[in-house]
Homo-oligomer: A and B are copies of this chain.
Amino acid sequence: MSRFLSKEYQALEPYTPGEQPQQKKLIKLNTNESPYPPSPFVYRSIDQFEAENLRLYSDPEAKQLVKAIAETYQVEPSNILVGNGSDELLAFSFMAFQNLQKKVYYPTISYGFYPVYANVYGMQKCEIPLDENLKVNPKDYYNLDGTIVIANPNAPTGIALTLQEIEAIVLSNPNNLVLIDEAYVDFGAESCLPLIHKYDNLLVIQTFSKSRNLAGARIGFAVANPDIIADLNRIKFSFNPYNLNRLSILAGTAAMQDKDYFRKCTSEIIRTRTDFVEEMEQLDFEILPSKANFVFAKHKNLSGKEYFTALREKSILVRYFEKDPIQEYVRITIGAPDEMAALIKASKDILGIEENIE
């Protein structure tokens, strides 16, 4: 720490990203990336890219990409802002809407970045516990007095609220902004995006990192009524106007337009998840009902930390959170079928279950 750092940030504890190992041989099921490559149209957009153009600034409004998103979700470009990853849009949102109450409500167990942003903007962190099934109880979020942030499906549990449950929260908080982080929505949950036409206090954030197979291109988008988007633009143009580079704008546009490939990849992951959960349950794992591209799993004979460590020793990387009440679980990304098979095999080894010899 230098002697110049502002006092309010001296105790700030930054977010810890999931490990990005250099070791190539690891089976990497720890950061919820897609096991599938981006759309072939993304390849083509990069192949045909005229590198010559990199000498020129990118379009600060990323109109091409915004248009592709607007067409997909049948909203207007004025309903959309794109960001350098959805994290940037979360940061802009916390910044814009830290508001007078300075209170933010979110589940105790959720995306670990929410308390970091709350700390950055000096907001009061009002953390609401999950219910006994590790589910967000919508009624806990009725009639509050501050900004509300909910990941749906939630992370790291994978459990989703229904569209009706989300709408009830939005409806009961007419004077609070409700931010729904839909990073994982495309793997079987219902998006509340269409509600933006009905409610002016709803802000939906999605990402290209999971269901669009583009974590490395860093693209997220926010959808809301034009006034909220104008507020976020005011922040963006006061912070970093050219926030998307030329190649990511192209790659994102191509990925968004290839709707068939998107459906193919997400269905494939849902199918792999279904098969994987079944096999894990046969090994006596308890798996929370997931609508995401990951599952949250525990076993009565194995602590979360033991399981995490034992998998790591077998070169399989999953994510473990040393935090009550989820310390008995590990979060496992749904990868390709052969990766899940390798994890099942490793789990049998760890549990001392003999393979059937057929």
The residues of A with any CB-CB pair to B shorter than 8 Å are 1-7, 9, 12-17, 20, 28, 31, 33-38, 42-43, 46-47, 49, 51-60, 84-85, 87-88, 91, 95-100, 116-117, 119-120, 147, 177, 200-201, 209, 213-218, 225, 227-228, 230-231, 233-248, 251
Contacts and interface: CB of A to CB of B under 8 A. Distances in A.
Contacts of A117: 238
Nearest to A88: B240
Contact of A216 (B53, B177, B217, B230): B53
Contact of A2 (B38, B230, B237): B230
Given A51-B38, A245-B245, A15 B231 contact: no
A243 B53 CA distance: 21
Contact of A33 (B13, B56, B251): B56
Given A54-B214, A217-B246, 8 more contacts: A12-B238, A14-B238, A34-B55, A42-B51, A55-B214, A218-B244, A245-B245, A245-B248
Contacts of A6: 95-100
B240 A57 contact: no
A200 B5 CA distance: 13
Contacts of A54: 37-38, 42, 213-217, 251
Contact of A239 (B2, B91, B227, B234): B91
Contacts of A53: 216
Given A51-B37, A84-B243, A9 B235 contact: yes
Nearest to A117: B238
Given A15-B241, A241-B15, A241-B17, A1 B51 contact: no
A7 B244 contact: no
